[in-house]
Amino acid sequence: MLLLIRRDFAVLGLALLCTQPSHAQVDTARAAQFIQSAGDELVAAINNPGLNAAARQERVASILRRSVDVETVGRFVLGRFWRVATPAEQQDYLRLFEASLIRNLAGRFGEYQGVRFSLGRSQSRTEDDALVSTIVTRPGSNPFNLDWRVTESSGQPKIVDLIAEGTSLRLTQRSEYASVIQRGGGQVAALLSAMRAQSAR
C-alpha cells in the first residue's frame, strides 16, 4: 500500500521554489485548519455514494485545483531546467504538468472509497511554510502517515509538498524529471515529449 501511495502522490512533486517571490509567513493553526477543510472535502467527495466514478473524479479534481499551488509545484519539479527552457517550453510544460497532476490524482483518489484521515500536530518548518501531519486509513490497509506542507500564496494557504512515511515526494518527482531530461541530452523538449506520450496513454 505504501508503495502505491508513494507512486500515486509522487506526481505531485509539490514544493517551494527558492527563486519564486517570497511567500508570507504561515500560521500553523491556519495551515492545520486549511488541511482539515481540504481533507474533509476530499473524503466527502470520495465517499459520496451518490456520485458515479466520473463525477467523483471531477469533484476531487476541483478540490485539488483550489488547494494545490500548481505553478509553484511545477516550476520546482522542473528545477534548474526551468531557467534553460524557452518561454514556449515553460508554458507547454506547466500546461502538461497541471493536466497530469489533476488527472492522476483525481483518478486515484476517486478509487479510494472508505478513506479516512485524522489530523496530527502542526509545526513551522521555515518562515515560509508549515508542516501538517495526518494519519490516513483505508479499509483493508494499514494506516500510514501523510504530512502536508503548506505555504501562503496570494494571501491563501496552498499545498506545496506531500511527505509519505518520511519520504518527500517533491524530491522524488524532481529527480525523475531530471533523469528524463538528462537521458534526452539535457533538452527540456525530451521531457515534454514524454509527458505528451503519457497523457496520450
Residue 90 forms part of a structural domain: yes
Domain count, the chain: 1
> In CATH, what number is assigned to the domain containing residue 47?
3.10.450.710
Q: Which residues constitute the domain of residue 107?
A: 2-10+24-195
Is residue 107 within a helix (H) or strand (E), and if so which, with residue range?
Answer: helix 87-109
Instruction: For the chain, 201 residues long, give each residue's pLDDT as a single digit of tens.
Output: 444 444 444 444 443 333 344 445 678 999 999 999 999 999 999 999 998 888 988 999 999 999 999 999 999 999 999 999 999 999 999 999 998 888 877 877 777 788 998 999 999 877 788 999 999 898 888 898 989 999 998 889 999 988 888 888 788 889 999 999 999 999 999 999 999 998 887
Residue 17 forms part of a structural domain: no
Rounded Cα–Cα distance for residues 15 and 149 (Å): 8
* pTM (two decimals): 0.81
Cβ neighbours of residue 120 closer than 8 Å, sequence gap 6 or more: 132, 133, 134, 135, 145
Residue 201 forms part of a structural domain: no
Which 3-state string (H, E, C) describes 54-105? HHHHHHHHHHHHHHECHHHHHHHHHHHHHCCCCHHHHHHHHHHHHHHHHHHH
